[in-house]
Amino acid sequence: MSWEANVRKVVPYTPGEQPKEANIIKLNTNECPYPPAPEVRELLSSMKYENFRLYPDPCATKLIDAISDHYKVPSNQIFVGVGSDDVISMAFLTFFNSDKPILFPDITYSFYDVWADLYHIPYKRCPLDDNFRIVKEDYLKENGGIIFPNPNAPTGVLEDVSMIEDIISHNRESVVIIDEAYIDFGGKSVLPLIDKYDNLLVVQTFSKSRAMAGMRIGFAFGSKKLIKYLNDAKFSFNSYTMNMPSLELGAASVRDDEYFKKTCHMIMETRRRVKCELKSLGFSFPDSQANFIFAKHENISGQSLFCALKAAGIYVRHWNAPRIEDYLRISIGTDEQMDRLIAFLKDYLK
């Protein structure tokens, strides 16, 4: 028998393309089109390379304190990790240890089932309705945990706080994770509910609205109890996950609220304008409250449009999956980038 018999067999996953050519219009991974806050640049230029010889602070104190100050949440109710992927994966491992299935939408972020499989967690996908809305009743059944993004990805559909509170209040026996990766583009966070429900974990990220995808920073808010359990799990497996630049530059980013609000506003303005343009070109889409639009054209297949755009140097995201094969997920870029997209589509569709 070869050693290969004991190798874990997985389906290799291809991440969204990171083209290296210049001039590509990259609207495929929901990155922020604007740079991080100016304070990030300043701190980067004064960072002491000598300190890199030391291990980073395993408690991530500077970063957690900065998040605490900004969001007015005590430090012991905040957890941080290497992107929200790391935070959510750790939450699955820590909280989802029931024999009952965890619940999440059929159309949603593509890593939930991966982590469930990894940790041997049973799960059940609840179909979104025809308008890509969450069907509340599906989440009032017995379960070992609940997770969904709000706004949902890749649809951009936002559910309101009262509906989510209804789900949480009917599920006090399992942990409910709301993945708010895209909440800063017009949505209302369920963050205030952590004071009322000790089983609610709210996850956010620096990768979208804070323009720091390259730094890998995610964070979560919850009751003291939830956060302590997460930290216990994390410290028992790997104490030093976030490196020094993440901790320092992440803190700098959070401190600059004015810039943050300005760039989020710019992206929402661009989104408003692009929605009008797309509609007039024959596209339809759910009303996105995220930094992307999930759109399909009345005549052209998703696959054809995806290929045509790519040939023109415009990268968007497309899934060959049931119910969404005719949709493209188009990230909101700069106004100039979106003008080039619209110009191409006008020409292509005429």
| Interactions with a second copy, residue window 110-129 (CB under 8 A) | 111, 114-115, 118
One residue of 29, 68, 150, 270 binding a second copy per CB under 8 A? 29
If the CB atoms of residues 195 and 298 are measured against a second copy, the closer one turns out to be 195
Q: What's the min distance (Å) between Cβ of 252 and a second copy?
A: 10
Token digits of residue 43? 């701190």
Does residue number 216 form part of the binding site for a second copy (CB under 8 A)? yes
* 3-state DSSP of 257-301: HHHHHHHHHHHHHHHHHHHHHHHHCCEECCCCCCCEEEEEECCCC
If the CB atoms of residues 9 and 72 are measured against a second copy, the closer one turns out to be 9
Determine the number of helices (DSSP H) and then strands (DSSP E) in the chain.
10, 12
If the CB atoms of residues 182 and 283 are measured against a second copy, the closer one turns out to be 182
The helix/strand/coil state of 220 is: strand
Q: Provide the residue type at 51 as one letter.
A: N
Does residue number 83 form part of the binding site for a second copy (CB under 8 A)? yes
Does residue number 35 form part of the binding site for a second copy (CB under 8 A)? yes
The residues, ordered by sequence, that sit 6+ positions from 165 with a Cβ below 8 Å of its Cβ are 190, 193
Does residue number 162 form part of the binding site for a second copy (CB under 8 A)? no
Q: Which residues, numbered 284-343, are part of the site for a second copy (CB under 8 A)?
A: none
Q: What's the min distance (Å) between Cβ of 76 and a second copy?
A: 14
The residues, ordered by sequence, that sit 6+ positions from 273 with a Cβ below 8 Å of its Cβ are 335, 338
Does residue number 54 form part of the binding site for a second copy (CB under 8 A)? yes
Does residue number 212 form part of the binding site for a second copy (CB under 8 A)? yes
Q: Which stretch binds a second copy (CB under 8 A): 65-73, 159-167, 224-232, 307-315?
A: 224-232
If the CB atoms of residues 97 and 304 are measured against a second copy, the closer one turns out to be 97
Does residue number 264 form part of the binding site for a second copy (CB under 8 A)? no
Does residue number 49 form part of the binding site for a second copy (CB under 8 A)? yes
Alpha helices in the chain (DSSP H): 38-45, 61-71, 83-95, 112-118, 161-169, 224-237, 244-255, 257-280, 302-311, 335-349
Q: Which stretch binds a second copy (CB under 8 A): 82-90, 157-165, 186-194, 309-317?
A: 82-90
**23: exposed, middle or buried (Cβ count in 10 Å: 0-12, 13-18, 19+):** exposed
| Segment 257-266 long-range contacts (CB within 8 Å, at least 24 positions apart) | 257/70, 259/37, 259/38, 259/39, 260/37, 260/184, 260/209, 260/210, 263/32, 263/34, 263/209, 263/211, 264/184, 264/185, 264/209, 266/34
Does residue number 18 form part of the binding site for a second copy (CB under 8 A)? yes
Q: What's the min distance (Å) between Cβ of 267 and a second copy?
A: 12
Does residue number 249 form part of the binding site for a second copy (CB under 8 A)? yes
Q: What's the min distance (Å) between Cβ of 229 and a second copy?
A: 5
Does residue number 236 form part of the binding site for a second copy (CB under 8 A)? yes
User: Contacts with a second copy: how many residues (CB under 8 A)?
Assistant: 86
> What does the alpha-carbon distance between residue 297 and residue 25 come to, in Å, rounded to a whole number?
20
If the CB atoms of residues 174 and 289 are measured against a second copy, the closer one turns out to be 174
